[in-house]
Structure 1
Amino acid sequence: MKDLVLIERLRALASERPRFGYRRLHLFLKRDELPINLGRVYRAESLAVRWKVRRKLAMGERQKKPVVSAANQRWSLDFMSDQLASGQRFRVLNVVDHFTRECLAMHVGVSITGHDVVRELAAVVRFRGRPQAIITDNGPEFVGKALDLWTHETGITYLFTRSGKPVENTYIESFNGRLRDECSNLQWFQSLE
């Protein structure tokens, strides 16, 4: 009887959150106070998350990155694109702290300029404090005058990744991938709100 309740709850959770693995679903089941050997049941029900097979990339020389040891040492910024149900494209600016791995800001808009990026960062700085450095790719919103001037005035070190090297900004790329996998690929957005 207990196994049947467990299996039904596990199936329901897995259908609600298809990109969650058994460890994350286990937390939900513990909240429901269901004692389980989750690995056995999860595998028996064939609920394992399927991942894309990645091809091996040629290894080049790796640069040693300075270790981040506290919050607000380095933030990463990047954009994601998606579209509404109507077909209208929109973008999401994400800001992630390297140490805490938390998303500090998500700004959604049809058109996001360098001034919008500065306005969003200034709001986060008022709330969270100033980072020592920010790192971005070479997108037009990031290489413009607005962000360069703001970082200079606030004393923030501004770092760029090399063109075509998203692995140099792994924290934000990982966050964007997970956000796309667990949220935007599963949702049908009717409006920006």
Structure 2
Amino acid sequence: MMCGEWQVSIRRASAALEFDRSTYHYQSCRPDQALLAARIKTIRETRVRYGYRRVQVLLRREGWVIKQKRTRRIYNELGLQLRNKTPKLRVKAKLREDRAPATRPNDVWAMDFVHDQLATGRKIRVLTVIDTFSRFSPVVDPRFSYRAEHVVATLERVCAKVGYPRTIRVDQDSEFISRDLDLWAYTKGVTLDFSRPGKPTDNAFIEAFNGASGANV
């Protein structure tokens, strides 16, 4: 304003006000906060149990150069803090418009658990996987106890034989949102495509496969 009203140069105005000229010419290099906030919100729409630390990891992988403190601030401003209870199923999620049908084998796999009980009464969990293009099931693996590290071990064993998929569709089971599976997928270049909470039709291929299998159990 002073330069315009008094017709003086920036240098003379800065000297009179004892103002550093570099501040006048400074342009912020910070990434646009609206874009960052939108990306954080998008991540949490499918990874509903991710805290700000795990969101920060994904942002760094995508090339965002930001401090964890800023991620936490925006995360909290968006009201994304984790609650003790699982989000209610009546909460409406956005439609999955980013999904494309598989075009070749190992393009998209779908994965889930089914449960059964032996004649002795002991319960088992069965990891089922299906290729959504070929309808081939690379693995049906039963265990008495199935943890995240077991899922990783099973996938690594199977992928060594048939190859790694480009994408695996999964739901929000604790084994699928675990750090173990996330790190494995990132290392192998596999995308984990999470279903929306309360939307089993997002993973309809594995639901149909498990339904048909269950009829014969």
Whether the TM-score (by the shorter chain) exceeds 0.5 is yes
Aligned residue for 2:188? 154
SS of 1:140's partner is coil
Specify every segment of 5 or more residues in structure 1 that has no aligned partner in the other structure, as ranges.
Answer: 1-59, 185-193
1:139 has 2:173 as partner: yes
- 2: CA distance between counterparts of 1:137 and 1:150? 17
Specify every segment of 5 or more residues in structure 2 that has no aligned partner in the other structure, as ranges.
Answer: 1-92
1:101 has 2:129 as partner: no
Larger-gyration structure (1/2): 2
SS of 1:108's partner is strand
- 2: CA distance between counterparts of 1:63 and 1:125? 27
Residue in structure 2 matching 1:67, options 79, 83, 101 = 101
Aligned residue for 2:200? 166
Q: Report the aligned-residue RMSD.
A: 1.5
* Pairwise CA distance, 1:63: 3.9
Q: 1:148-178 CA deviation, whole Å, 9 max, x = no partner?
A: 0100111111110011111000110000000
Q: 1:73-107 CA deviation, whole Å, 9 max, x = no partner?
A: 01111000010111111110001101001111011
SS of 2:102's partner is coil
Query: How many pairs align?
Result: 124
Tell me the TM-score normalized by structure 1.
Answer: 0.62
- 1: CA distance between counterparts of 2:194 and 2:95? 16
Q: 1:17-57 CA deviation, whole Å, 9 max, x = no partner?
A: xxxxxxxxxxxxxxxxxxxxxxxxxxxxxxxxxxxxxxxxx
1:113 has 2:147 as partner: yes
Cα gap change, 1:144 to 1:83, in 2 (>3 Å): same
Where relative contact order (Cα < 8 A, 6+ residues apart) is larger, the structure is 1
- 1: CA distance between counterparts of 2:125 and 2:151? 12
- 2: CA distance between counterparts of 1:93 and 1:102? 15
